[in-house]
Chain A
Amino acid sequence: MSDLLQHVLNGLAAGTIYALVALGYTMVYGVLKLINFAHGDVMMVGVYVGYASAKQMGRDTSSSFLGVTLVFLLSMAMCAALGFLIERFAYRPLRDKPKLTALITAIGMSFFLSYSFQLEASLGGLTVLPGAAPRAFPDVITSQVWLIIGDVVVSNKQVISVVVALALMGGLQFLVFRTRFGMAMRAVSFDHRTAGLMGIPVDRVIALTFMLGSALAAGAGILYAIKDTLVQPLMGVTVGLKAFVAAVIGGIGHVPGAVVGSLCLGLVEEFVVGYGGSTWRDAVAFGFLIAVLLFRPEGIFGRVTAEKV
């Protein structure tokens, strides 16, 4: 029984991280109707920025509260910039072209990011590209056991990741449904041509949405890296795909749906690993996706929309 509880706990903690990445997919899909394949790789870049800045600060500074906050903010800012650049130069010129071009561009962008980080390059002693070797993320948050109930162990990292994730999600929900910018986002999502006619700066809204999603991804990436995962250039592909699966399970374009889908996926994966199938973990995530698409292609919360011809 306590075994089960522990798995549920771990699964939920893993799920919240997927949720943050999945929110980026969902938001971008909402405004652009495009699945940003490069989203996971933007997250990976964010993790490397966090890694580099934590290393720069040194162990003592980076593990203080201010230091950790700075690491997060820096990497989120860098990713927002990266997201802006990708949107501006790769996606915006193709917005009115056939959808297939945007899909191919997104795939190409993802491939470009993840594999250029596998190269090693430095410029005047400064490492520009890190190379393929996996690295351990600096221990900016020291592992502590905060709570033991029976045999169930709750660590500070789990609590922190859940709290940070919930806070970011709450903020996002507020932004989308309670602010003028959120209203503009929803209008663009509903129909970007009409939104433009109503005086909404469509380009700016889309760019900001991209930046917001990328920043969320960076935050998620660092939370993910802090929990015992190695940093490596291809991490974005795996996490990105899983978060995408989660977004589809919840119903793509639906904010709470992405969260619920992510928690489901986190739990399913944790149970597969916990009950003896760690090598099957990745296959299960995709199997889950295929099953959802088969039986409920619109996702848990999605609505079936008639296609406009």
Chain B
Amino acid sequence: MGGVIRGLLPFAVAVPVLAALQVLTADAPFLVILSLTVGVNIVLAVSLNIVNGMTGQFSIGHAGFMAVGAYVGGVLSKVTSEYGISFLPEVVSDQVLFALSLVVGGAVAALFGFVVGLPSLRLKGDYLAIVTLGFGEIIRVVVQNTELFGKALGLSGVPARTTLFSCWLVVVVVVVVAKRIHDSSHGRALLAIREDEIAAEAMGVNTTAYKVRSFVVASFFAGVAGGVFAHYQSIVAPSSFTYVKSMEVVVMIVAGGLGSTTGAIVAAVFLTLLPEGLRSVLLAVTGDGALAQKVEQIRMPLYGLLLVVLMLLRPQGLFGTRELWDMGPFRKKRAPSPPSPLSSSASPGAAPEVVR
């Protein structure tokens, strides 16, 4: 019983807070849009962190799953937009249908995650990265060739149903899920795989099964993020889900620290707001639209450089594998968290590497 209450606590706090924020920001549409962009990126980063950070498998095709969720959710909402649930007021019935299309979009994305994950997670490191990238591209090509999804033009007229409340509720859900996975015995198995796959297997962890499960969970939330994205953009175009989008998410979790949910959140917020802020400031100060446009272009090469520099100077990123809830006043007595997957050889007191 206590467990149930503790499990529901984050939501008991989040729901009124978000509802209040929703009311307060009612006449600040720019702020709302910005917060939605940040929210979607947090969901993507936290979910990808389950695969790349906790399990140590490097996927770089997250945008593909996001696309699945966006298109499936978008089509579903378009189809159901003429119907309402008769005994509910229109606003409520819209939100119920919206939630439904998010879940269905996420479920289809999870199905894709399973189909891709089952074979490819038998592969290691570099191969997995390429396969996930290739899969992301395949999804895009398939969408571009499908009449139902509007081919290269994209899907337009998706009802705008995402609100600050619903978007950030999804954020809270994904963060709670990520934390609870991390702290469960399931999560311990994932961490064991990350630290040493062979040793984990020797200890009786069914590595393939656990890897596929983490992949499925991550794909589900990527799909939900796609759905949220589709319902505030109203237009879903294949160009939103390229390799670039996947890379953006990868940069976020690497910068935040692979394996740290806190790091993923902080980096997602920072890396989303920085270019937006810079653009608005430039636009306001110089009044030069072309200059503000440059920010968007320079972002991409900088991301690449950031990855290289981070790996050379601070491979554990901002937070390593630490979490906010493990620090300071939040800390409970527990074993120290394991070293980051990227700094294991640098951890103090580690045995000298055996010559192989």
Q: Interface digits, B127-141 against A, CB 8 Å rule (1 contact, 0 not)?
A: 101110111011001
Given B258, B305, B355, which contacts A108 in the complex, CB threshold below 8 Å? B305
Please tell me the number of chain A residues within 8 Å of chain B, measured between CB atoms: 47
Considering only residues 17-32 of chain B, those with a C-beta below 8 Å from chain A are none
How long is the Cα–Cα vector from A37 to B145 in the complex, in angstroms?
A: 28
Are B131 and A100 within 8 A (Cβ)?
Answer: no
Nearest CB of chain A from residue B205's CB, rounded to whole Å:
16
Are A107 and B307 within 8 A (Cβ)?
Answer: yes
Are A118 and B135 within 8 A (Cβ)?
Answer: no
Are A104 and B311 within 8 A (Cβ)?
Answer: yes
| A111 located at the interface, meaning its Cβ lies under 8 Å from any Cβ of chain B in the complex | yes
Given B135, B307, B312, B341, which contacts A290 in the complex, CB threshold below 8 Å? B135
Most buried by A among B120, B142, B250, B311: B311
Contacts of A104 in B (CB 8 A): 58, 250, 254, 307, 310-311
How long is the Cα–Cα vector from A289 to B131 in the complex, in angstroms?
A: 8
| A116 located at the interface, meaning its Cβ lies under 8 Å from any Cβ of chain B in the complex | yes
Q: Give the interface segment out of B42-50, B173-181, B294-302.
A: B294-302
Considering only residues 69-92 of chain A, those with a C-beta below 8 Å from chain B are 90
| A160 located at the interface, meaning its Cβ lies under 8 Å from any Cβ of chain B in the complex | no
| B144 located at the interface, meaning its Cβ lies under 8 Å from any Cβ of chain A in the complex | yes
| B344 located at the interface, meaning its Cβ lies under 8 Å from any Cβ of chain A in the complex | yes
Considering only residues 196-223 of chain B, those with a C-beta below 8 Å from chain A are 198
Contacts of A180 in B (CB 8 A): none
Summarize A's interface: helix, strand, loop or mixed.
helix
Are A280 and B304 within 8 A (Cβ)?
Answer: no
Other A-B pairs beyond A193-B356, A248-B127, A290-B119, 9, CB < 8 Å? A97-B342, A109-B304, A112-B307, A115-B301, A118-B300, A289-B134, A290-B120, A290-B134, A293-B127
Contacts of B243 in A (CB 8 A): 237
Q: List 17 A-B contacts (CB under 8 A).
A: A97-B345, A100-B342, A101-B311, A108-B304, A108-B311, A111-B304, A112-B304, A118-B300, A193-B355, A279-B145, A287-B138, A290-B120, A293-B120, A297-B123, A297-B127, A307-B198, A308-B356
Are A111 and B247 within 8 A (Cβ)?
Answer: yes
How long is the Cα–Cα vector from A112 to B305 in the complex, in angstroms?
A: 6
Q: Chain A residue with minimal CB distance to B52?
A: A100
Considering only residues 280-294 of chain B, those with a C-beta below 8 Å from chain A are none
| A57 located at the interface, meaning its Cβ lies under 8 Å from any Cβ of chain B in the complex | no
Question: Assuming A35-B130, A105-B307, A108-B308, is B298 touching A119 (CB within 8 A)?
Answer: yes
Given A111, A193, A287, which contacts B300 in the complex, CB threshold below 8 Å? A111
Considering only residues 99-144 of chain A, those with a C-beta below 8 Å from chain B are 99-105, 107-113, 115-116, 118-119
Given B138, B303, B341, which contacts A286 in the complex, CB threshold below 8 Å? B138
